[in-house]
Amino acid sequence: MNVSGRDDIVIRVESLDLAYGNHLVLKNISFEVRRGDCLVVMGGSGCGKSTLLKSMVGLLAPLRGKIIIDRDELWLNGDKKRKETLKKLGVLFQNGALWSSMTVFENVAMPLEIFTDLGVKEVENLVDYKLALVGLAGAGNFYPSELSGGMRKRAGLARAMAMDPEILFLDEPSAGLDPITSKRLDDLINELKESLGISFVVVTHELASIFDIADDSIFLDSESKEILAHGNPKDLLKENNLTKVRSFLERKTVNNS
Amino acid sequence: MPSSCDEKIPRIEHHQNNSDVSITICGYWSLNSRERLRLLRRWESLVLQWKDVLSFEIKCDESLVWDSSLVVFLRNANRDLSVNGGQVVFLDLPAGLNKLLNLADEGQKRNKEQKQGPPSDGFLSMEALLKPLDFLGALVISFLNLVRGRSVMRWRDFFASARNCSASALPIVTLISFLTGVTMAFVGSVQLEKFNATIYVADLVSLAMVREMGALMVAIIMAGRTGAAFAAELGNMNLNEEIDSLETFGICSVSFLVLPRTLALFVMTPLLTIYADIVGILGGLLVGTLVMGFSALHYLEQTQSALTDMWEVYSGVSKSLFFGLIIGFVGCYKGVFSGRDSASLGKSVTSAVVISVTLIIIADAFFETAFSLLELR
């Protein structure tokens, strides 16, 4: 058994079927994410990108299949074991999902206060460092309602990174942001990937971001509910002949006829 | 055939040739045109008349002026004429009109493919019955974890909730309980005057307040005020994925959000009930002294003699403990499981209040029956 090869894979998804009640959303989804890579999940609206993300971050139990995060099977074990596995990952939700009754500082500090034995001063230093990383130094005393959309996302990213996770899941990080703020966020993702070796799973349909940050990608299809294409988006653009994938990557209208 | 398309009205001209019909659209097609409505009625009768026709050709006159009304008409015409197997062909449509028709067709096709929502589980599914029990179980486990010192509940959340559902509620509780006491004193005095026993108004007011009205009034105020606020607050957190983000950190949302709120109501509702009992009795005292002419001391001595058995007070307060639990549980449950749109949030808040009040009345009736059967009254 090649142990080093196995360690290289940080997420393995095998034959995953996802459903809301009786409504099947995705079927037979399999892919892997290598350590330090950024995998982009792309596809049109309603194809199940966010549903897949929900299942990978422990919010939606799959109908069938496995999600293995760093050798721990997420949905096989009980609630307690799953919570332990979840500590290895951080999640940035679409609108930041900051806890509205707390300041930005408290949002980032809370996981540290709950899960570590760090002293007040240490927590303060760590939070200041995380906020500085995302360019929000000095914004700790603001409440989420006082922040712009871009700042909220960056604060959400700082909170997602609070516990030094090995994997970061980002749900449409650039959605609703202007091109400059969106580019800054992409640059930040690339910097974090390179300097901290964090693995990323990013759900997005922003083409500029996809080409900027992705090492690997999967393209989900709402009709077949399966992965239609898998590979580096730049390679897919050059080599993939499927109309849907090409139309998506070239931003063209699909001609159904 | 000469066409009369000069007037500012929409027109349809048609020719029938055995099993073929040729239709020419001309004139001025506007959403604001009243003539268009008249034309549509005529169109319906024409469709009936052509039910055996197999081929239709629709074309537009060069001088045609049109807006969305014509696009809608052509889409409907295509549907109406092909219902009985007729073939519809559009000829020489203006380029813009053609594009809009194609765009609308594609949009509808995409909609059919994508918008097949999940099937409803029905009104009373097993899940709908088990979910509240599951939630109750999670709340009990969270409470036990708190007792064992393993809970993630933050005490400052508890104190903030406690302040919100007690000190902030004092003005409304004071007003309602005082007026309840006043009203009962007036109603009672009318009946007791017939027996020349008006002093027993003090017994009536004090017993009614401590046994029943104090707890019930506070519970109803809390359900409308605090229960609704909990449902709205947690529903909004659910809407903004704040609850999901707690779960992804491995933080139990029941311990973190539901427990401090429910516990605050559990502790504060009895205290508010005792306060409401006292204020209600003072309301009765006001009527007894100012309207009936008793001295305050006489009235209070009569009240004291009515309340010698402290069980009367305890029974009301013990009921209010359960009322607090019901309001906290229902408000938080409805908030946590509200849908992810503003309409569902509104529904959750409404149903939190309605269900709380209903359960409070049912619980009250249950307690009174139990007290009566156990000869505690």
ipTM of the complex: 0.79
Query: What phi, psi does A45 have (nearest 5°)?
Result: -60, 140
CA closest to A111 among chain B residues: B249
Asked if A251 has any chain B CB less than 8 Å from its own CB, the reply is no
Which of A21, A46, A84 lies at the smallest CB-CB distance from B118? A21
Q: What is the pLDDT of residues B134-166, one digit of tens each?
A: 999 999 999 999 999 888 888 999 999 999 999
- The per-residue pLDDT for range B92-114, each reduced to its tens digit, is 888 888 888 888 877 666 555 54
Please give the full DSSP string across B256-312, using - where no structure is assigned: IIIHHHHHHHHHHHHHHHHHHHHHHHHHHHHHHHHTS---HHHHHHHHHHHT-STHH
What confidence tier does B2 reach under pLDDT thresholds 50, 70, 90? Answer: very low
Relative orientation angle of helices B68-82 and B95-114, to the nearest 10 degrees = 60
Contact check, Cβ <8 Å, B250/A84: yes
Contact A28, A204 (CB under 8 A): no
Distances in whole angstroms, Cα of residue A60 to Cα of each of A20, A252, B161, B339, B372: 9, 33, 30, 16, 48
Q: State the Cα torsion A195-A200-A206-A209 to the nearest 10°.
A: 20
Q: How many CB pairs under 8 A join A and B?
A: 67
What's this model's pTM, rounded to 2 decimal places?
Answer: 0.74
> Nearest residue of A to residue B238 by CA position?
A97
Residue in A53, A91, A92 to test binding to B, most B beta-carbons within 10 Å: A91
B143 strand-pairing partners: none
Say yes or no: A78 contacts chain B, CB-CB below 8 A. no
Residues 30-49 of A with CB under 8 A from B: 46
Q: Which residues of B touch A (CB under 8 A)?
A: 106, 109, 113-119, 121, 152, 236-237, 240-242, 244-251
Indicate the residue type of B6: D
Strand ranges for B118-241 from DSSP E: none
CA B274 – CA B307 distance, rounded (Å): 14
Looking at residue B28, what DSSP letter applies? B
Give the model's pLDDT for residue B115: 47
Q: Give pLDDT, residue A238.
A: 86
* Six token digits for residue A95: 């609108």
Residue B5 pLDDT more than 60? no
Q: How much is the pLDDT for A191?
A: 86
Q: For residue B323, is pLDDT > 90? A: yes
Dihedral angle sign, alpha carbons of residues B133, B138, B143, B147: positive
Mean of all residue pLDDT scores within chain B: 88
Greatest pairwise CA separation for chain B in angstroms: 107
Q: Cα(B102)–Cα(B33) distance, rounded to whole angstroms?
A: 25
Predicted confidence at residue B376, as pLDDT, reads 79
C-alpha A28/C-alpha B189 separation (Å) is 77
Residue type, B301: E
Q: What is the Cα–Cα distance from A137 to A4, expressed in whole angstroms? A: 39
What's the gap between Cα B155 and its chain centre? 30
Using DSSP, state whether A155 is helix, strand or coil: helix
Closest CA to A89 of A75, A103, A69: A69
Q: How far is B134 from chain A (nearest CA, A)?
A: 14
Residues of A in contact with B104 (CB under 8 A): none
- Between the CA of residue A236 and those of A210, A217, A242, what are the distances in Å? 12, 9, 9
Q: Determine the residue of chain A that is closest to B107 in CA distance.
A: A256
pLDDT of B58 > 60? The answer is yes
Q: What is the pLDDT along chain A (257 residues), one digit of tens a residue?
A: 334 444 689 999 999 999 988 889 999 999 999 998 999 999 888 889 989 999 999 999 999 999 999 888 998 877 888 888 888 899 999 888 999 889 999 999 999 998 888 889 999 999 998 898 888 888 899 999 998 888 898 899 999 989 889 999 999 888 877 888 788 888 888 888 888 888 999 998 888 889 999 999 999 998 889 999 999 998 988 887 788 888 888 876 555 43
pLDDT value of residue A6:
45
Say if residue B325's pLDDT is above 90.
yes
**Residues in B touching A111 (Cβ below 8 Å):** 249, 251
B156 residue type, one letter: R
Question: Closest partner residue to B248 among A46, A86, A99, by Cβ?
Answer: A86
Lowest mean pLDDT among A206-220, B28-42, B301-315: B28-42
CA distance A20 to chain B (A): 7
